[in-house]
Structure 1
Amino acid sequence: MDSLITAAARALAAGDPLGALKHVALRDDAPALALRGIAMAQLGELDRAKMLLKSAARAFGSREAVARARCVVAEAEIALVSRELRWPTRALDTARATLEAHGDGLNAAHARNLELRRLLLIGRLDEAERILAGLAPIPLPPALAAARALAVAGIAIRRLRTGAARAALAEAGRAAIEAKIPALIAEVESASLVFSAPAARLVARGDERPLLLDEVEALLASGKLVVDACRNVVRDEKTIVPLATRPVLFALLRALAEAWPADVSRSTLLARAFRARHADESHRARLRVEMGRLRAELRTLADVRATKRGFALVPRHASEVVVLAPPVEEQHAAVLAFLADGESWSSSALAIALGLSPRTVQRALEQLAAAGKVQSYGRGPARRWMTPPVSDFPTTLLLPGPLPSG
């Protein structure tokens, strides 16, 4: 490897893409093309970066397996940043195996970090944890150590293990400062800000207040009966009853929980669950049926008792009933939560991350765009959606993922 290639590689490792381009900007050999592609990616010119990396992979040829694998890893990172979630992950697996087989442990570790970040993005926490548990404890350079610690923090945040998340963020911060890469330092700072922002609202006895993530963790372990409107479940310390697929039942339950220990009138329940302004006998009959279904769902946690004017929620074991609500509630909040990261997303990538149909996501984006909350650029398959970061939409409780076990 000649001196200019070496100097460009060192500049890229230090987060100085302009310095790297000064050494290789006029060269078209395979190593120079690869370094130029990485530099353009660091500068945000992702389309140009992808073209350069593909050209570099072709120029290296079949005999340069390690170099081609490094190009594939770089392409995977660009795909992740540009939210191309349909990018072929098998190519990354093959590249990582090639790097491991040829002793390039650092780039193989980088490939693992990319895999972890993608799994976090689409909410596959169990798989991400299995990968982390199987990794050998090898020393990593500061930049890779910071990225690994961010992945650990991301899992801990979504699992509501705030102590582990705080420790991982502190480790990431130390490693990022040691790496002296401004973009990495900014990423850690951004993650720390999200961690310290209000993650939910507590609604109890007619009052409400914001909760930090560690307060949410403490609430779920408090033994109270929690109606979780962030995930549409009801739970106490030991039992979780999901109601995400029963929106009418959850609407009734939330109305009862917000009024606890008082009861709720039938007219209020009809308006909340059925949006019925003028209730007739058919509405009242349906309310009785739905209350019977809700009583059956809650049989281990609470009873739903009829009163003279309506219904009341009576917990079986818990001493108090509270509602855990998102920090801001509006239609399509989950879409806004993803777009709040400041990156540009395609509607298909959002559909993968949210687990919804592409058409459902497209309708949501169109409604948000009409309200001036998101904007798009490009056309057809190249169309991307984005919005400036919104502090009222921390993604912690809105991103998909399993609940912490009781």
Structure 2
Amino acid sequence: MDSLITAAARALAAGDPLGALKRVALRDDAPALALRGIAMAQLGDLVRAKALMRRAARAFGPRESVARARCVVAEAEIALASRDLGWPAKTLDAARATLEAHGDRVNAAHARYLAVRRLLLIGRLDEAERTLADLDPAPLPPALEAAHELVVAGIAMRRLQTQAARAALVRAGSAARAAGIPALTAEVESASLVLNTPAARLLARGEERPLLLEEVEALLASEALVVDACRHAVRDAGTVVSLATRPVLFALARALGEAWPGDVPRGTLLARAFGAKHADESHRARLRVEIGRLRTMLRPLAGVSATQRGFALVPRRAAEVVVLARPVEEQHAAVLAFLADGESWSSSALALALGASQRTVQRGLDALAAAGKVQSFGRGRALRWMTPPVPGFTTTLLLPAPLPGD
């Protein structure tokens, strides 16, 4: 490798893409193309970066399998940054295996971290943890050590283990400073802000207040009966009843939880659960049926008693009933929660992360665009959606993960 390529590689490793481009911008050999691609990715031009990495992979000869594998890993990182979550994971696995077979453990570890970060984005926490368990960050350079701790923190946040998340972020900050890469330090600082930003609202006895993530953790570990409107479940410290696939039952449970210790009139329940403005006998009969189903579902946690006006929730063990809701609630809020990270997303990536159909997500994006809340750029398969961070919107931490089999 010649001196210019070596100097450009060192500049990229130090987070200086402009310095790297000064050395290889006019060269079209394979190593220069790869370094230009990485530099463009660091500068944010992901479309050009992807094209350059593909050119570099083709330019390397058939005997340069390690170089081609490194290009694949770089392309996977670009795909992750551009939220192209449909990028073939098997291709990355094959590249990682090639790198491990040739003793390039650092880039092989980087490939594993990319796979874990993708799993984290689409809500597959168990798979992410299993993959992470195979990695030992001790022999890795500081930049990868920081990446490891960021992934550990991300999993801990989604598990609502805030103390573990804070400890991991402290370690990530130390590793990022040791690496001397400003962008990595900024990423750690951005992740740390999540712990100090309201993640939910507490609704109880007609009042509401914002909750930090650690307060959500404490609430879910308390003796209260929690109607969780973030993950569509009803829970106490020992039992969780998921209503994620039963929207009518959850609407009834939430209405009863918000009114506790009082009751909810039948007309209010009909409006909340069915959107009925004028109730007739068929509506009232359907309400009786759904209340019976709710009683069956919530039997381990609470009863639903009939009153003169309507119905009331009666907890079996808990002394308090509260509702945990998102900081801001509106139609398509889940889509906005993902877009609030400031990254550009494709509709297919959003569908994969949300566990919804692409057409459903596209309708939501069109409605948000019409309201001026999101914007798109690009065309066809390159179309991406984004929005500036929206103050007050929940992060994705408390959104329900895709159901098994979705």
* TM-score using structure 2 length: 0.97
Instruction: Provide the C-alpha distance between the structure 2 equivalents of 1:385 and 1:52, rounded to a whole number of angstroms.
Output: 23
Q: Distance in 2 between matches of 1:399 and 1:383?
A: 25
Aligned length in residues? 403
Q: Report the Cα distance in structure 1 between the residues aligned to 2:136 and 2:261, rounded to whole angstroms.
A: 53
- Structure 2 matches for 1:208-227, cutoff 5 A? 208-227=208-227
Distance 2:350 2:402 in 1: 18
Q: Cα gap change, 1:69/1:181 in structure 2, threshold over 3 Å: closer, same or farther?
A: same
Q: Secondary structure at the match of 1:196?
A: coil
Distance of 1:225 and 1:161 partners within structure 2: 20
1:358 Cα offset (Å)? 0.7
Cα distance in 1, alignment partners of residues 295 and 103 from structure 2: 60
> 1:228-247 to 2 correspondence within 5 Å?
228-247=228-247
Give deviations 1:227-272, integer Å, cap 9, x for gaps.
0000110011111111111111111111111111111111211121
Percent of aligned pairs with the same amino acid = 79
In the TM superposition, what is the alpha-carbon distance from 1:379 to its structure 2 partner?
Answer: 2.1
Aligned position for 2:283 = 283
**Contact 1:30–1:59 under 8 Å retained in 2:** yes
Q: Deviations over 1:75-119 (max 9, x none)?
A: 000111111111111111111111111111111111111111101
User: Is 1:72 equivalent to 2:102 in the alignment?
Assistant: no
CA distance in 2, matches of 1:279, 1:191: 48
The answer to which of 65-74 and 277-286 deviates more is 277-286
Cα offset, 1:401, TM superposition: 2.9
Structure 2 partner of 1:22: 22
Q: Which moved more, 1:121-130 or 1:260-269?
A: 260-269
Q: Secondary structure at the match of 2:313?
A: strand
The equivalent residue for 2:147 is 147
Unaligned ranges ≥5, structure 1? none
2:351 corresponds to: 351
Offset, 1:380: 2.0
Q: Judge conservation of contact 1:123–1:399 (CA < 8 Å) in 2.
A: no
1:136, CA displacement in angstroms?
3.4
What displacement does 1:391 show? 2.5
1:43 aligns with 2:43: yes
Check conservation: 2:201, 2:327, Cα contact below 8 A: yes
After superposition, the Cα gap between the structure-2 partners of 1:215 and 1:370, relative to the gap in structure 1 and judged at 3 Å, is: same
Partner in structure 2 of residue 135 of structure 1: 135
CA distance in 1, matches of 2:354, 2:270: 30
Q: For residues 13-66 of structure 1, what are the alpha-carbon distances to aligned partners after superposition, in whole Å with 9 as ceiling and x for unaligned?
A: 000001011111122222111111111111112222122212211221111111
Q: Is the 8 A contact 2:328 2:394 kept in 1?
A: no
Aligned residue in 2 for 1:33: 33
Question: C-alpha separation between the residues in 2 aligned to 1:290 and 1:178?
Answer: 59
SS in 2 for 1:397: helix
Change (3 A) 1:347 1:402: closer
Alignment of 1:149-168 (within 5 A): 149-168=149-168
Whether the 8 Å contact between 1:203 and 1:258 is mirrored in structure 2 is yes
**What is the root-mean-square deviation of aligned Cα atoms in Å?**
1.4
Q: Retained in 2: the 8 A contact 1:34–1:52?
A: yes
In structure 2, runs of 5+ residues without a counterpart are: none
Kindly provide the CA deviation profile for residues 112-142 of structure 1, in whole angstroms up to 9, marking residues without a partner as x. Answer: 1111110111111100000111223542211
Please say if residues 236 and 301 of structure 1, whose CA atoms lie closer than 8 Å, have aligned partners that are also in contact: yes
Q: What does residue 386 of structure 2 align with?
A: 386
Partners of 1:24 and 1:402 in 2: CA distance: 44
Question: How has the CA–CA distance of structure 1 residues 81 and 399 changed in structure 2, closer, same or farther, with 3 Å as cutoff?
Answer: farther
1:3-402 map, 5 Å: 3-401=3-401
1:273 is displaced (CA, Å) by 1.3
Q: Using the alignment, how far apart are the partners of 1:339 and 1:167 within structure 2? A: 27
SS of equivalent to 2:337: helix
SS in 1 for 2:292: helix
Q: Would you say the 8 A contact 1:119–1:125 is kept in 2?
A: yes
After superposition, the Cα gap between the structure-2 partners of 1:183 and 1:394, relative to the gap in structure 1 and judged at 3 Å, is farther
Q: Is the 8 A contact 1:83 1:346 kept in 2?
A: yes
Distance 2:401 2:168 in 1: 19
Contact 2:374 2:387 in 1 (8 A): yes
Q: TM-score, normalised by structure 1?
A: 0.97
* CA distance, structure 1, for counterparts of residue 69 and residue 235 of structure 2: 47
Instruction: Point out the more displaced range, 296-305 or 134-143.
Output: 134-143
Once residues 76 and 396 of structure 1 are traced to their aligned partners in structure 2, the CA distance between those partners, rounded to angstroms, is: 22
2:158/2:398 contact within 8 Å kept: no
Counterpart amino acid of residue 191 in structure 1: A
